[in-house]
A and B are shown apart, each in its own frame.
Chain A
Amino acid sequence: MAWWGLALGLWLGAPSAEAGSAEVGGYFRVAARPDFQGGNGRLGYWNLYGRLMNEGAYGMVDLRYMALEPATKAAPWTSVHARVEGGAIGGADPSNGSFANLRLSQMYVRAGNVLLPGVVWHVGTLDWYMGDLGLYDFRPANIFFESVGLSGRVDTRRVEAVFGVGDAGFFMRPGAYNTILTPGGTLRLRLGKLELGGGGQAYIEPKVVGKRTAPHTTPGVDYEDLVRGEVVENFLEENPGFENDFTDPVAASATSWKAFGYLGFGGFGPVVWNNLYVSAQKVHPGGSVTENVGGRSYTIYTTEYTDERTVLTVGNQLQLRVVPERVDAVWAFYYGNHRDADNLIAPSDHNRWYASTVLRTQAYLTPTVHFLAEGVVAREVSTTGNAFRNHADSIFRNTGGTPDTRGLEYGDANTRDTIQGKTGFVLNPVGPGVFSRPSLRVLYGAQWSSQNNAFGNDFVETVDQQNAFGNVERHVHHLVSLETEVWF
Chain B
Amino acid sequence: MRALGLIAVLGLTLTGCVKPPPAAPFPRAASVAVGAVYDGEAAGVADAPERLDIAVEGALAARGLSVRPVGDAALLTAIAGSPSSEVRLARLAASTDAELLVLVELKPNFYAQMAGRYRWSVPLSVQVSWRDRPEGALRQTHEVPATLLYYHEREEAAVGEVAPLVARHVEAAVEAFLAREGG
Contacts and interface: CB of A to CB of B under 8 A. Distances in A.
Interface of A: 21, 23, 25-27, 60, 62, 64, 73, 81, 83, 127-132, 134, 137, 139, 155-157, 160, 188, 190, 195, 264, 273, 275, 319, 365-366, 369, 371, 425, 430-431, 435, 437, 442, 487-488
11 contacts: A60-B114, A62-B114, A73-B41, A83-B112, A273-B152, A365-B13, A365-B15, A366-B15, A425-B12, A487-B145, A488-B145
Given A157-B42, A437-B147, A60 B121 contact: no
Interface in B86-129: 111-117, 119, 121
Contact of B151 (A160, A369, A488): A160
Given A64-B121, A369-B16, A131 B150 contact: yes
A435 B13 CA distance: 20
Nearest to B117: A487
Main secondary structure of the interface of B (DSSP, over half): mixed
A51 to B, nearest CB: 10
B143 interface: yes
Contacts of A129: 113, 116
B24 interface: no
Contacts of B74: none
Given A25-B119, A129-B113, A366 B18 contact: yes
Contacts of A130: 151
Contacts of B49: none
B64 interface: no
Nearest to A26: B114
B164 interface: yes
B149 interface: yes
Contacts of B152: 190, 195, 264, 273
B151 to A, nearest CB: 6
B25 to A, nearest CB: 22
A365 B42 contact: no
A487 B118 CA distance: 10
Nearest to A136: B116
B141 to A, nearest CB: 10
A130 B15 CA distance: 39
Interface of B: 8-9, 12-13, 15-16, 18, 41-42, 111-117, 119, 121, 143, 145, 147, 149-152, 164-165
A139 B16 CA distance: 36
A435 B8 CA distance: 24
B164 A156 contact: no
Contact of B113 (A128, A442, A488): A128
Contact of B111 (A23, A134, A156, A437): A23
Contacts of A371: 13
A431 B114 contact: no
B10 to A, nearest CB: 11
Residue of B16, B115, B165 ringed by the most chain A CB atoms within 10 A: B115
A261 to B, nearest CB: 16
A328 B37 CA distance: 30
A134 B149 CA distance: 9
B164 A431 contact: yes
A151 B18 CA distance: 53
A425 B16 CA distance: 12
Nearest to B16: A365
Contacts of B115: 27, 60, 487
Contacts of A127: 113
Given A60-B115, A365-B12, A425-B12, 11 more contacts: A25-B112, A81-B112, A83-B112, A155-B42, A273-B152, A275-B150, A365-B15, A366-B18, A425-B9, A431-B164, A435-B149
Nearest to B8: A442
Contacts of B143: 21, 23
Contacts of B8: 442
A431 B121 CA distance: 20
